[in-house]
Amino acid sequence: QVLLVESGGGLVQAGDSLRLSCVASGRTFSRYCMGWFRQAPGKEREFVAGISWSASSTWYDDSVKGRFTISRDNAKNTVSLHLNSLKPEDTAVYYCAAGSSCYEKRGDKYNYWGQGTQVTVSS
């Protein structure tokens, strides 16, 4: 069982940056590949970024590639998402998720989810 708690969301202007964090409970965090997803109002949840258990590999949706960076610190049971050059279309609730398989972009491949943190980008 893994409990995930996100933080760091907020209201920012276009072009600004944010850093989201996700802290995991349990001693098996390093065994999981981690992902960030987001869901905008009226839209389906979509994949944003993922990172392997050792942080040796990362993968991104094309819409955020070059602007967002995912990282993790297994000693602190934390995965982070750095959001740069934010756009109004990045507005969504952002969720972190843990899964046993890496390189996955489908939400149903992740076993554990946090409660989400709201990111709002004004134009």
| Bridging pattern class, strands 18-24 and 78-83 | antiparallel
Where does residue 29 fall: left (phi above 0), alpha (psi -120 to 50 degrees), or beta otherwise? alpha
What is the rounded CA–CA span in Å between residue 35 and residue 81?
A: 9
Considering only CA atoms, give the Rg of the chain.
Answer: 13
- Per the DSSP assignment, residues forming a β-bridge with 55 are none
Residue 14 has pLDDT above 80, yes or no: yes
Residue 1 has pLDDT above 90, yes or no: no
* The predicted structure's pLDDT at residue 98: 96
Structure tokens at 7: 């933080």
Q: Tell me the pLDDT tens digit for each residue of 16-64.
A: 999 999 999 977 888 999 999 999 999 999 999 999 999 999 999 999 9
Q: Which stretches within 1-123 are classed as H helix?
A: none
* The predicted structure's pLDDT at residue 26: 78
Which percentage of the chain shows pLDDT scores above 70? 100
